[in-house]
Amino acid sequence: ILAYSFVGVLGIHLRKLFAIGKEPNSEDKQRRYLENAILTAHRALKLLSFALLSQLWDRQKEKAIELSDARRQSLRAFFEDEFGLDITGNLQLLTALMNIFQEHKIDWPMPELEGLLPQMEPDGDFAGSCTRLKELGKALDKGQFTLADCFAAERQLAFLMEKLAFLAAYRMVSIKNITYNEMRNAPPRYLHSYTVLGIDSKSNVNTERVNYVDAPISTQAILLFKGRYQQSINLFPFLIDVNALSGEVGAKVCFYSHQDIADGSLNYQFMEDNSYENITYRKTWTEGEDMNQLMLDADKRRAYNLDSVFLQFQEAKKALLATTEEEDFDFIDDETDDFDF
């Protein structure tokens, strides 16, 4: 019940954790159990941070607010970290974002987060659980763990999930494709092809569905919502479905991890096995080129979609950090800065 109650990707993580827990005891089982307990907590924090980043980005585009140097530095640590924030780093990012929303009276993408803010003090139990999980992660990296560490990680994860129980009311979908249909003398309709991320009550994982409606929606995006997905938080480009971008069946959900400082490429981690998906800007399309010809080529269309991930990430960074193009677009020609999405 817990596995399919929790939102999307977290439900999948919990099911995997429960499956490992049922295995006969062994050192390998302990390692994987500890690893997945820590990862589940880490991904929960990331999901909340991505929701706030997305909402703040939209707000900055609509009506910009002036962030303090300290708040901007917290965001810069996320955008420019070259190794990926650890669990306490993501907690600091989440706390900074929550404070920004409170200080500037911005509408919360998830209203429940406002009530969580008082519990985010550095010396509070929430932060303490994250710190303990970080310590357990260090022991795991050194190969110095025991069965007792697995129980400790389980307790800390259970505490965090209790505080984040409101996530059980949310759902996630990956929008794969939108088909336009307009018959003569009839209003236009749109066929949404999407994947319901997570586990349903029949234990199905990432179910494919369609919805025939009268309005479009963002394509190739992962949406977080309560109620109807038409009123949702668009998590792109922080959380992406590589299969949706590539035109492939199924879902390959990847969390943003870090940026390569050398070439500016983006590194995402595949939810299932934590492997990396590197996205490099290839300048697949430039102003004046024939878009129709590009779309006829499946490989170029895929590269174009991945370029969109890269460019949207840079746009988010520019809007949230109030940076100049010279600072953050050095590796992109000026003619592509006004890319039309």
Position 327 pLDDT exceeds 70: no
Mean pLDDT of the chain: 88
**What pTM was computed for the model?**
0.90
Position 194 pLDDT exceeds 50: yes
Average pLDDT over residues 235-259: 93
If pLDDT is split at 50, 70 and 90, which confidence band does 109 have?
very high
d(CA 54, CA 46): 12
Residue 207 near residue 221 (C-beta atoms within 8 A)? no
Position 93 pLDDT exceeds 50: yes
Residue 163 near residue 139 (C-beta atoms within 8 A)? no
pLDDT tens, residue by residue, 135-168: 999 999 999 999 999 999 999 999 999 999 999 8
d(CA 284, CA 22): 48
Length of the chain: 341
Residue 340 near residue 268 (C-beta atoms within 8 A)? no
pLDDT (0 to 100) of residue 292: 87
Alpha-helix runs per DSSP H in the chain: 2-5, 8-21, 27-62, 69-80, 87-103, 112-116, 125-142, 147-163, 242-246, 291-296, 298-321, 325-328
Position 262 pLDDT exceeds 90: no
Indicate the SS3 state at residue 148. Answer: helix
- Please provide residue 338's backbone torsions phi and psi, each rounded to the nearest 5 degrees: -95, 35
